[in-house]
Chain A
Amino acid sequence: MLQVFGIRHHGPGSSKSLLKALHNFEPDILLIEGPPDANDLIGHVQNLGLIPPVALLVYNPKNLKQAAYFPFASFSPEWQAMRYGLEHDIPVEFMDLPMSLQFSLNEQTTLNLFEENLPSDEDEEDVPEEDLAAIEREIAAKKKKQEKAKALRLDPLSYIAQLAGYSDSERWWEVTFEQHKGDGDIFPAVTELMSALRSDTEAEENTRGLQREAYMRTCIRAAQKKGFEKIAIVCGAWHAPTLQDIDQYKASADKASLKGIKKIKTKATWVPWTYDRLSVQSGYGAGILSPAWYQLLFTDQADAVVLWMTKVARLFREEGIDASSAHVIEAVRLADTLATIRNLPIAGIDELFEAAISIFCSGYESKMDIVQRKQVIGDVMGKVPADIPMIPLQQDLEKQIKSARLSKEYATTELIEEKKLDLRVASNLTASQLLHRLNLLGLPWGKQLADSKKRKGSFSESWAMQWKPDFAIQIIEAGMWGNTVEVAATNFVKTSMKKISTLPALTKMVQQTLNAGLDDAIEDLVEQLQNLSAITKDVLHLMEALPSLVNTIRYGSTRQLNIGALEQVVDQIIPRICIGLPNACIAIDEAATERLFKHILQVNRAINQLNIKEHNLQWHKTLEQIVQSFQINGILSGACTRLLFDKSIFDEKETATQMLYALSKGNDTTKAAYWLEGFLHGSGLLLIHNPALWNILDRWVDELPFAAMKELLPLLRRTFSNFSTPEKEKMLLLAKQGQRDETHNQERLIEIDAAQKVLPTLKLLLGID
């Protein structure tokens, strides 16, 4: 005998009905819609260390782009079916069209699609525009139809639920199938419903679907042949009719439809999954899949509404938000009434959610983020035990993780753990190198936090840690580079550096490689760096690369790095920058000017840090060249004047001369304002400390024609508004103090005088009344 159980994937209601029905039926074999490639892995379901949500990962070891995941939650009918079968000691097998065949079919379909969609040149020219529009509309309509058909096939039950006005299709299942609590045999009804639905022409099954069903029937026939008498078939409801009525299909025809498909060798393993991924996975306009809610429906259906709302209240209480039992009562009442208005016999997740917004969040949905994360989606990640087959790289990674004393078990989504590492501690250094290596391999488990990068020279790093389930496939993918993390990362660097064509990208890789402690790769990299810096014409690229190189040199000692080779590179780069920069400043647009401005400041800082005499001399000469040039945007010459003033290369007098020149009457006022912006970048205090400079500015402001003033004021204010608030306050204070101290000596009085003059203009520029 053969019984088909058409379920809703991940439907807790289906799960419960299925278990009841299986107990009644007592099958001697279980066939489940799933990839036979993973048949050997079914046994692990009984392993206590395998905790859902988990997914079967089937992949082509030779081409990791061919990979498929099959996720299961504890409430998924397939998961419950596997457990049932294992507990009752009957054979459990997957019966879907194997991925080893589907992968090769996929290759063919992509090829075909490509050919179909490729219009020939002639066609395009001949079609008048209106016709094109019509064709586009037609294509859009067709696409829409296909999408609908796809949604239908994927989750036909939720499609019907929506037609019945349910946004929460689980509630529909309950109301429709579970109210008659009898012997629980609802599955014939489901199959019948699907038969009706499948006769709708719009829902026509595609070729692949037909092939899959043919394969499933082939599996069923094989089981019959082997003499099993009570065969239980667990499949998505959509397929149920075509498996139940197996006698109406010819075995030979099924075989024929599968003939000649190339077979690709696959491997399979279990990987941890998350509720977050589970909810993204499904959907397709089939209503939100809410794993946390489904879990509740599976374990505590009778009290689900009250339980859910109580959990929400407790969550809010933890956040310090008022949420009493009275709130819970009101929220449950509101949800129930909402359901009534919507003609639903019981409230679903949407009603609960909306009621919670109104009662707990004063109507603001934005405050529900945490509820969405924890009580709608659920902050749950599954576990896979160590004794499940792993590829070598994966095994090495596990070993490294252990010796680095890291752990990859934490929550998902936005909950990111912050990890502090002290690089003097051996295990911490290992951890840091491991994280850097994984980053190189495209597994951003840890993101180094900016502040730890800034605290240079210190031995500490901080990392934001977030393990993601899909790293599983990336690890397998990285397996092609080598069998240990270190070897794989080294090979990856050596190979990919050859494809890098810009200096900044390469310096970044140098830094990463040094941090990752990949000594074997460094030598090759530095050589590559030398070559590339020699041929780089773009001064901007050189300027961008320098600060990061200097950084690496200065703090390389923390990690006992070999930096001699890098110093050589820097010695070559600085002269090249000095030669190229003045010309690079000429005839560029505003955006390029902004970029250059930033780079000049950064290079200046890097050269100061290195503090090598020849470099300093050469750099200052270059800055002077820029100051002298007529053609250069004011902001750059202003900035360079300032840098020279700060280094006392220009004294107050020389600086005043430059300023006078820049702010002279004949000059374009906008250019002058830009000059000021560059000159005053970072701080304006020097204006107060150097009366000569202030006087020039003051006179210039005074003499500006009113119209020009109005035009320039925003620009000037931008300059001044960039100062920090404490600095602005200090400027004002300095200016005001002069005013108050009237009893002091002669010399002071002059200052006071100056200060009094400063104040009105200063207020104008700071935008204060």
Chain B
Amino acid sequence: MKKTKQLLRPHAEEAYAAELKKLVKIDDKQRPSNWQLSPWAVVTYLMGGTLTDGTEIEPKYFGNRRLIEVAVATLATDRALLLMGIPGTAKTWVSEHLAAAISGDSKLLVQGTAGMNEDAMRYGWNYAHLLSKGPSKEALVPSPIMNAMQDGKIARVEELTRIPSDVQDTLITILSEKLLPIPELGMEAQAQRGFNVIATANDRDKGVNELSSALQRRFNTVVLPLPSTLEEEVTIVKTRVEKIGQRLELPAENAPVKEIQRLVTIFRELRSGKTEDGRTKVKSPSSTLSTAEAISVINSGQALATHFGDGTLQANDLAAGITGAIVKDPVQDKTVWLEYLETVVKERKDWKDLYRACIDLVK
């Protein structure tokens, strides 16, 4: 217990060990082979709720319960799950918690990159061993996916569409045959029940390495959307900021709801191209302005306020973060942001401080 407290970012199964333990105990519904929990309990773990014994389960994902139900049902029918969405819509977050709830282990992770080769999906070799003793089981270094197969756990593949197409295709055999041939040893690794894959992919990356239709067919896809209402988004940011704040040992009293509200409003308005009241059209910048970015802007603002300010979050502490998140293209985004400041922010009664703080930075 002590150890996890000191980690900067403990894995989900450690951070929420207590909740998971309670759920295991109380869960009397049928569990698919090698699942720690029933599908119902997995959904409860993600969406939160009160158990029959009064235990409170914190919500991990804020949003449409039905989407999480589709995701869990997918995994329960032995189909691989692909989580799609623009950056910062909690794809990685959901994937980690699903793995933690189902397999009790979210660490079997392959991070997709452009330079990746097949070994990262299958297995590599310990060359010292290989040279001295020739190909053997001992010289083989299994990939996280291979480990997951052998242990009947969930493997996670992050940013699937960044992986080169031919390397992606390695997954086809794994997913359809549930086995991994090892020709060098004349053998194969067969997947245990409970093995499955959760992949995430970015909407905006479209066209980078689009999934082949053969691979696409192995997945059920769930698109995670941006939060649908201002209130929902503020709740997400607030909850996450508090959690992360605890970890960074920032003073806990200030969940700066007002600042979060303003920030989320700005992000939503710029994203959707119109003000929340629907009256004014605004231009959208090239930046994503996801919920995740809102969280990190508030967090760094809080750090600034704690270490350099008077401890309470002020417009000044946020200005730099906001500007940085919005202005990714120094010319166009800057114009957009300026226009928004002049036409929207300036006009709002209680937003003068924010206007001044931001305009000073841009000009």
A-to-B contact residues, CB < 8 Å? 322, 326-327, 330, 333-334, 337-338, 340-343, 350, 354-355, 357-359, 362-365
Contact = CB atoms under 8 A, between A and B. Distances in A.
A338 B220 contact: no
Main SS of the interface on chain B?
helix
Contacts of B250: none
Contacts of B39: 337, 340-341
15 contacts: A330-B220, A333-B77, A333-B79, A334-B79, A337-B73, A337-B74, A340-B39, A340-B76, A341-B40, A341-B69, A341-B72, A341-B76, A354-B70, A359-B220, A365-B223
Nearest to B216: A362
Contacts of B72: 341
Given A341-B40, A362-B84, A334 B70 contact: yes
B221 A358 contact: yes
Given A334-B73, A341-B73, A363 B84 contact: yes
Contacts of A364: 223
B217 A326 contact: yes
Nearest to B213: A322
B222 interface: yes
A341 B79 CA distance: 16
Contacts of A363: 82, 84, 221-223
A544 B77 CA distance: 65
Interface residues of B, number: 21
Interface in B210-232: 213, 216-217, 220-223
Contacts of A359: 220
A358 B222 contact: yes
Interface of B: 39-40, 43, 66, 69-70, 72-74, 76-77, 79, 82, 84, 213, 216-217, 220-223
A327 B73 CA distance: 16
Contact of A355 (B40, B70, B84, B217): B70
Nearest to B218: A330
A352 to B, nearest CB: 12
10 closest residue pairs by CB, A with B = A363-B223, A363-B221, A337-B73, A338-B73, A358-B220, A362-B221, A341-B39, A333-B77, A337-B77, A363-B222
Contact of A338 (B70, B82, B217): B70
Given A334-B220, A342-B69, 16 more contacts: A327-B217, A334-B70, A334-B73, A334-B77, A334-B79, A337-B73, A337-B76, A338-B69, A341-B40, A341-B72, A354-B69, A354-B70, A355-B70, A362-B221, A363-B84, A363-B222
Contacts of B66: 350, 354
Contacts of A350: 66
Q: Output the residue of B70, B72, B82, B223 with the most chain A CB within 10 A.
A: B70
A334 B43 contact: no
Contacts of B69: 338, 341-342, 354
B68 to A, nearest CB: 9
Nearest to B225: A365
Nearest to B64: A354
B327 to A, nearest CB: 18
Contact of B79 (A330, A343, A365): A330
B204 to A, nearest CB: 15
Contacts of B70: 334, 338, 354-355, 357-358
A513 B84 CA distance: 55
B69 to A, nearest CB: 5
A330 to B, nearest CB: 6
B335 to A, nearest CB: 8
Contacts of B43: 341
Q: Output the residue of A322, A340, A364 with the most chain B CB within 10 A.
A: A340
A365 B70 CA distance: 13
Contacts of B216: 362
A581 to B, nearest CB: 32
A359 B84 CA distance: 13
A638 to B, nearest CB: 25
A340 B29 CA distance: 10
Nearest to A350: B66
Contacts of A342: 69
Nearest to B221: A363
B127 to A, nearest CB: 41
A672 B221 CA distance: 56
A330 B80 CA distance: 11
Nearest to A327: B217
Given A341-B69, A342-B69, A364-B223, A358 B74 contact: yes
Nearest to B39: A341
A362 B69 CA distance: 16
A710 to B, nearest CB: 11
Contacts of B82: 363
Nearest to B43: A341
Contacts of A338: 69-70, 73
Q: Output the residue of B43, B77, B84 with the most chain A CB within 10 A.
A: B77
A340 B38 CA distance: 11
A169 to B, nearest CB: 17
Nearest to A342: B69
B340 to A, nearest CB: 15
Q: Output the residue of A322, A337, A350, A359 with the most chain B CB within 10 A.
A: A337
Nearest to A364: B223
A342 B69 CA distance: 8
Nearest to A339: B73
A644 to B, nearest CB: 36
Contacts of B222: 358, 363
A355 B69 CA distance: 10
A539 B284 CA distance: 39
Contacts of A354: 66, 69-70
A239 to B, nearest CB: 34
A216 B277 CA distance: 49
Contacts of A330: 77, 79, 220
A341 B43 CA distance: 8
Contacts of A327: 217
A232 B301 CA distance: 73
A507 B292 CA distance: 57
A359 B39 CA distance: 19
Nearest to B75: A337
A112 B223 CA distance: 51
A322 B212 CA distance: 13
A354 B65 CA distance: 12
A238 to B, nearest CB: 30
Contacts of A358: 70, 74, 220-222
B270 to A, nearest CB: 19
A127 to B, nearest CB: 27
Contact of A334 (B74, B213, B223): B74
B220 A343 contact: no
A341 B44 CA distance: 10
Contacts of B79: 330, 333-334
Contacts of A341: 39-40, 43, 69, 72-73, 76
Contacts of B76: 337, 340-341
B123 to A, nearest CB: 29
A338 B69 CA distance: 7
Contacts of A322: 213, 217
B338 to A, nearest CB: 11
Nearest to B68: A341
Contacts of B74: 334, 337, 358
A714 to B, nearest CB: 8
Contacts of A343: 40
Nearest to A353: B66
A350 B82 CA distance: 21
A292 B144 CA distance: 47
A333 B223 CA distance: 19
Nearest to B71: A358
A266 to B, nearest CB: 43
A333 B79 CA distance: 10
Nearest to A167: B66
Contacts of A355: 70
A355 B72 CA distance: 12
A387 to B, nearest CB: 49
